[in-house]
Structure formats: structure tokens, C-alpha cells
Amino acid sequence: MAKILLIEDEAPVREMLLDELTVQGHQVVEAANGEEGLQKFLETEPDLVLCDRAMPGMSGYDVLERIRGAHPQYEDVPFVFLTALTDPRDRASVDHLNPAAYIEKPVDFGMLADKITGMLGKGRGTA
């Protein structure tokens, strides 16, 4: 079972993803915004992060930038952006931070499960 940090500011979306990830057998830690997400990341040291790209205050980009910049020991933790932003320039603007994936909303749960399995199958988070 993997420990997944889910950072999503929209409660209905967060609850839907929480339910799906729990059914898939994962332990899920929730955060409602970027600031809370960064704090929970450092407290829980998750196996994988699913994070909304655009949030008020600290965006998903800001969260990943802080993790990659100030905490390089976590560079192997897969960080997945969830986003409704479909402009390819948005994806290109975060490539230098090496996100593990960039998944568009609405999320296809089958595809999400496959991506998570693939990322965690690379040696981290499987138990």
C-alpha cells in the first residue's frame, strides 16, 4: 500500500479522488491547499504526490518548486500534477521541475491507477 499525498483545493474533487485512491488500496493524506500540502509532505514523507496545478495562494507549481529547491532528498518522490489547464505552454513551464506526470481533469481513474502503479513500481512505495 502506497502513501499518497493528495493536494486539491476543490473539496468535491478531493473527496472523489480520495474515495477512488482508497478503493485502490492506498493510504491517502489530504491537503486543501498548497501551504497545507507542503507541511503534510514534510510531516508524512509520502511515496507519491497528486497535486492540483492551479490553486489560490501557493500553487502546485510553488509546492513542487519548494520541494525540489529546499528538500533535494525527496527528488525521487513522484509528483503528479492534476490540472484543467490544457495549454501546452503551461506544461512546458513546469518541465524543469521534473514532475512525474501531468494529468488533465476530469481524471480518468483507470489511467490514473495505471500511472500510479507504473511510478511506484520503479522501486519506491511498494510494500
Taking only the tens place, the pLDDT of each residue in 53-112 is 999 999 999 999 999 999 999 999 999 999 887 777 877 888 888 899 999 899 999 999
Q: Taking 60 as the threshold, does the pLDDT of residue 4 lie above it?
A: yes
**CATH number for 76:** 3.40.50.2300
Residue 67 lies in a domain: yes
Question: In which band, very low, low, confident or very high, does the pLDDT at 51 lie, cut at 50, 70 and 90?
Answer: very high
pLDDT score of 122: 60
More confident residue, 1 or 44: 44
pLDDT score of 28: 98
Residue 126 lies in a domain: no
Residue 8 lies in a domain: yes
Mean pLDDT to the nearest integer, 3-24: 97
Residue 125 lies in a domain: no
Nearest to 62 by CA among 40, 34, 90: 34
Distance from C-alpha of 14 to C-alpha of 125, rounded to nearest angstrom: 21
| Total count of domains within the chain | 1
Residue 127 lies in a domain: no
Q: Are 82 and 8 in contact (CB under 8 A)?
A: yes
